[in-house]
Chains A and B, each alone.
Chain A
Amino acid sequence: MASYIKVENLDFFYGDFQALHNINLEIEPKKITALIGPSGCGKSTFIRTLNRMNDLIDGTRVHGKIILDGKSILKNEIDVVELRKRVGMVFQKPNPFPKSIYENVIYGPKRHGIRNKSQLDQLVEQSLKNVALWDEVKDRLNESALALSGGQQQRLCIARSLAMKPDVLLMDEPTSALDPISTLRIEELVQQLKEQYTIVIVTHNMQQAARISDITAFFLNGELIEYGQTEYIFTKPCDQRTEDYITGRFG
């Protein structure tokens, strides 16, 4: 089930440095929301608050609310393990585990109690088919994931997240380390995935945001300048700074 996320008055601090200022945003289910903005604008920090990956960094603080399907996820008593099971994440650099392809896909499901071999086999096949990797690797599932090409590794990482049957998929510049052909495949994949998931994608590549996203949010210096339908943001932005950025005047 794709989730609906509502962010209210979100502030975020690394020590004394405030990286996010009063972010208010709604992320809709079965849509691709792209976060754009120059380096250091807070878009990656923001996406990492959605599955609380920032908890892993010492000295960070967060204020405000993030509500996932009616439940506030920033409270201390929230089980982050359970949260991350529902909110999957794909990283900038492909980061497969140094294990076999098969082991990579079943890592998450196994952690959460699925032990049945045929069920796991099925999950592997289904997840790899979802990312169009099945035909390429079905004969060598027990080989190291590190032997795959960068694009294949990234699709494997997406498959690994999908095997958890998440509601939300966060993607932090998933194609920035890939060649144009692999990038295209991932973009096609993301567009298919939105049928089932809520997708949030951080990208440096404005053409990519324009090509694949439904909603675009523009960040600058830790503030959300504006967000809305991608076609409006790219054709008639309300804010001068958005226009300057998308027309390439800075960033």
Chain B
Amino acid sequence: MDRINKKLGYIDRKELVIKRILQLFALISILTTIGIVITLFKEALVFLQEVSIVEFLTGKIWAPLLEPRHFGILPLVTGTMLIAVCSSIISLPLGLATAIYLSEYAPSRARKIIKPMLEILAGIPSVVYGYFALTFITPVLQKIYPGTEVFNAASASIALGIMILPMVASLSEDAMMAIPDSIRNGAYALGSTKFEVATKIVVPASISGIVSAFVLAVSRAIGETMVVAIAAGASPKLTFNPFESVQTMTGYMVNVALGDIQHGTIMYKTVFAVGAVLFIITFIMNIIAKLIVKKVGEAY
């Protein structure tokens, strides 16, 4: 009896150590996030002491470098949104269609070939997509629509859409594959066609997974840097024409980071201010997604 108690005590202590170690790792990621947020907002607040928040959020001209300086972030926001929307128009429907094909239609042989290919697509570095946009997509666009500028939002959006597609497809497919076959069989036994099983049963049943895949994809499009920095240009313009050159928030930040700027200058501070806005936008998107998932989830 004594020996068993001793043994149990040992196991308890061992479990406790393991628990503490795991807790520590979890804590590291939380602390890192908190640290980033604090730095971001601290520097952004310093920036707002020099530029009024009204000018920053509602100004229509972004010209931090040249006199007269203007610090209106709207052109960067619209640039970002233009590219996020255009790339989503490509990646979301195609990704969902791919996922439906893979999970409902594809024979296992086709799935074995297509899935790894999608993963390869996802593994290509984004800088490659950027040059692909600049040297391949843009010339094609210029042939179709001669007014296309060398740097333009459309080309970056298409490349970005292709880049994000595997993520949408793969995450949505995971959600659909999680639906048990017994449910599909129930629908088939009621005389459903394959398409009805996919669209009326499987997609609605896995909608929360699909919505999270979509939101992750859009967040990724908003946060992606290399493709837009290379292909979309560097001219902050308040436009919704995808064939023009634009600049996104990330594109601006990387441009500034590449130049040599002094610590403490206004240019330096703009990076944090823009970064804070970017953070708030993605944060709000994540909250909206959570709400959507919760609402849709509750309906059933």
Residues of A at the B interface (CB closer than 8 Å) are: 51, 53, 56, 58, 80-85, 88-89, 91, 93, 95-100, 107-108, 111-112, 144, 146, 157, 160-161, 164
Contact = CB atoms under 8 A, between A and B. Distances in A.
B177 to A, nearest CB: 15
A53 B228 CA distance: 50
B187 interface: yes
**CB-CB nearest 10 A-B residue pairs:** A108-B190, A89-B189, A85-B191, A84-B191, A95-B182, A95-B186, A81-B191, A98-B205, A98-B300, A144-B300
A97 B189 contact: no
Q: Chain B interface mostly helix, strand, loop or mixed?
A: helix
A99 B196 contact: no
Contact of A95 (B107, B183, B300): B183
A88 B182 contact: no
Interface string B187-227: 11111110010001100110000000000000000000000
B183 A51 contact: no
Nearest to A109: B190
Nearest to A107: B190
B201 A84 contact: no
A111 B190 contact: yes
A69 B182 CA distance: 29
Contact of B200 (A88, A93, A107): A107
B239 interface: no
Contacts, number: 66
B241 interface: no
A120 B261 CA distance: 70
Q: How large is the interface on B (under 10, 10 to 19, 20 to 34, 35 or more residues)?
A: 20 to 34
A211 to B, nearest CB: 25
Contacts of A82: 191
Given A81-B193, A89-B189, A99-B300, 17 more contacts: A51-B189, A53-B188, A53-B189, A84-B190, A85-B191, A91-B182, A91-B185, A91-B186, A93-B182, A95-B180, A95-B186, A97-B187, A97-B205, A98-B205, A144-B300, A157-B186, A160-B186
Contacts of A97: 183, 186-187, 201, 205
Contacts of B180: 95
A141 B196 CA distance: 23
Nearest to B186: A95
A81 B205 CA distance: 22
Nearest to A84: B191
Contacts of A81: 191-193
Nearest to B189: A89
A203 to B, nearest CB: 18
Contacts of A84: 188-191
Nearest to B194: A56
Given A91-B186, A95-B186, A108 B200 contact: no
Given A93-B182, A111-B196, A144-B300, A99 B189 contact: no
A53 B185 contact: yes
A48 B7 CA distance: 55
